C-alpha cells in the first residue's frame, strides 16, 4: 500500500443519467491499459449504467449487456481492450483463475462491479468509485484513487 503518496478524493453530485455519462466520458478519455476502476454501490445504483457510458465514449455502439451471468464481457475498443466484470456471483477467489482475471488486468483496462469479491487481487492503484442512490436519477459518486485522476475529474464537475 502506498499510503504516503497523495490520493485523489472527490464527492460528485450526479443529478441525472446525463451527469453520469459526463463522468463516464471523462473516465473513458483517460483510461489506459492496466487501469482498474472498482465500482461499488447497491443493486441498481448505476454501476452497469456508468460502464455503458464509458464504453460508448470509447466508441462501442452495439449492445453492452450486463455480465451478471457471464461474469465478464470484453470489448475491443478502437483505443484499448476493456474488460467489464461483474463479480457478484463469485463465491471463492479461486474462481477468478478460470476467468483469467490477473491476465485481463495486464492486457487491458478493467471495469469491475462487486470488486470486493476479488479480495487481494485488486491492485492498489485502482480507482475506487462508489455510487449511492439518492432519489430519482440523482446519485452521489464518491471517488478515491491515484492522484493522476485529480486532473481528469475536477471536483466542481
Ligand X SMILES: Nc1ncnc2c1ncn2[C@@H]1O[C@H](COP(=O)(O)OP(=O)(O)OP(=O)(O)O)[C@@H](O)[C@H]1O
Query: What does DSSP say about strands 81-86 and 7-14: parallel, antiparallel, or unpaired?
Result: unpaired
Taking residues 53 to 72 in sequence order and writing x for each that binds Mg ion by CB under 5 A, - otherwise, the string is: -------------x------
Provide the 3-class DSSP secondary structure of residue 27.
helix
What is the rounded CA–CA span in Å between residue 88 and residue 50? 17
Candidates 2, 43, 69, 91; binder of ligand X (CB under 6 A) is: 43
Q: Is 115 near ligand X (CB under 6 A)?
A: no
Q: Is 48 near Mg ion (CB under 5 A)?
A: yes
Nearest to 54 by CA among 85, 20, 87, 88: 20
Measured from the CB atom, is 49 or 129 closer to ligand X?
49
Q: Is 52 near Mg ion (CB under 5 A)?
A: no
For helices 47-57 and 17-30, give the axis angle rounded to 10 degrees. 50
Measured from the CB atom, is 111 or 122 closer to ligand X?
111
Measured from the CB atom, is 31 or 112 closer to ligand X?
112
Q: Please, what is the end-to-end C-alpha distance for the chain in angstroms?
A: 28
Q: Interface with Mg ion by CB under 5 A: which residues?
A: 47-48, 66, 113
Amino acid at each position: 500500500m502506498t499510503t504516503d503518496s497523495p490520493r485523489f478524493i472527490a464527492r460528485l453530485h450526479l443529478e441525472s443519467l446525463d451527469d453520469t455519462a459526463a463522468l463516464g466520458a471523462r473516465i473513458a478519455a483517460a483510461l489506459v491499459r492496466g487501469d482498474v476502476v472498482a465500482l461499488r454501490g447497491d443493486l441498481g445504483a448505476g454501476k452497469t449504467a456508468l460502464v455503458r457510458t464509458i464504453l460508448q465514449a470509447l466508441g462501442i455502439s452495439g449492445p453492452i449487456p450486463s455480465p451478471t451471468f457471464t461474469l465478464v464481457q470484453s470489448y475491443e475498443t478502437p483505443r484499448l481492450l476493456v474488460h467489464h466484470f461483474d463479480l457478484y456471483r463469485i463465491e471463492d477467489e479461486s474462481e477468478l483463475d478460470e476467468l483469467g482475471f490477473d491476465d485481463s488486468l495486464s492486457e487491458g483496462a478493467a471495469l469491475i462491479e462487486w470488486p470486493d469479491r476479488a479480495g487481494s487481487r485488486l491492485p492498489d492503484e485502482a480507482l475506487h468509485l462508489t455510487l449511492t442512490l439518492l432519489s430519482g436519477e440523482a446519485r452521489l459518486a464518491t471517488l478515491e484513487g491515484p492522484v493522476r485522476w485529480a486532473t481528469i475529474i475536477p471536483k466542481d464537475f
